[in-house]
A = this chain, B = another copy of it.
Amino acid sequence: MRARILDAAEAQFAKHGFDGVAMRDVAGRARVDAALLHYYFGTKKGLFDAVFARRAAVLNRVRIDALDEYARRAGHNVTVEGALKAFTDPLLELAALGDKGWKNYFALLAQVNNTPAWGGRTMTRYFDPVIQRLVEVVRVALPDADPQDLYWSYHFLSGALTLVLSQTGRLERLSRGLCRSGDIEAVYARLTPFMTAGFLAVCQPAGARKVRAGGAVRRRSDGRMLQAGRG
């Protein structure tokens, strides 16, 4: 019963946000009486928090496990790519299950992650430990990286990942049907390579960085970029 309410609330909050959802709607979709929601969860905010916390716990466990497992197996041979895969793959696997609940939850995360009023606080409260663990593991691969570069790089990854899972239909429209945003296989094939290259470009100290052909970048001492070659 509790679960049915949480499922319905999750779907509605994911689609319309906290303020766009009426307790009545949730009760109707869950096919329970409206007063029950208050009996179980007290307030609307209580219901929302319960929705948010339920899968956060699961998500954090599988990701922390994946990161620990990867760090243990890789030892000193940790790579940026391996660390990022350990962080994102468990999430993509859940998204690929076809489970409506997880898809809704990820769409909810995308909204919260971009909600100025309280989104930052909420994401911090629930997800900081796993992200700090990710940064730790990446640091094994890039021991000389500037922490600021690592955090900014993660921030870029976070934005991309949440938008990918946000189910807005944006990509379909933009690509005129060429890409489907629910196509997790397509994300698997591209997200980690993209992000790995990004992390390396930003976080690898200048001395250790290989200069690549075409569009090589070099960091100046003040942190601004200079474009090498023809601009």
Contacting pair A161 B164 (CB below 8 A): no
Shortest Cβ distance from residue A140 to the other chain B in the assembled complex, whole angstroms = 13
Contact of A121 with B by CB under 8 A: yes
Task: Tell me the complex Cα distance, A19–B25, Å.
Answer: 15
The answer to whether B202 touches A194 (Cβ under 8 A) is: yes
Instruction: Count A-side interface residues using an 8 Å CB cutoff.
Output: 92
A27 to nearest B CB, angstroms?
A: 18
Task: Determine which of B149, B159, B191, B215 lies in contact with A79 in the assembled complex, contact meaning CB atoms within 8 Å.
Answer: B215
What copy number does this chain have within its complex?
2
A189 touches B219 (CB 8 A): yes
Fill in one digit per residue for A191-225: 1 if any B CB lies within 8 Å of its CB, else 0: 11111111111100000001011110101000111
Nearest Cβ distance between residue A120 and chain B, in whole angstroms?
4
Q: How far is the CA of A173 from the CA of B85 in the complex (A)?
A: 24
The answer to whether B74 touches A186, judged by C-beta atoms less than 8 angstroms apart, is no
A101 at the interface (CB under 8 A from B): no
Counting CB contacts under 8 A, is A227 at the interface?
yes
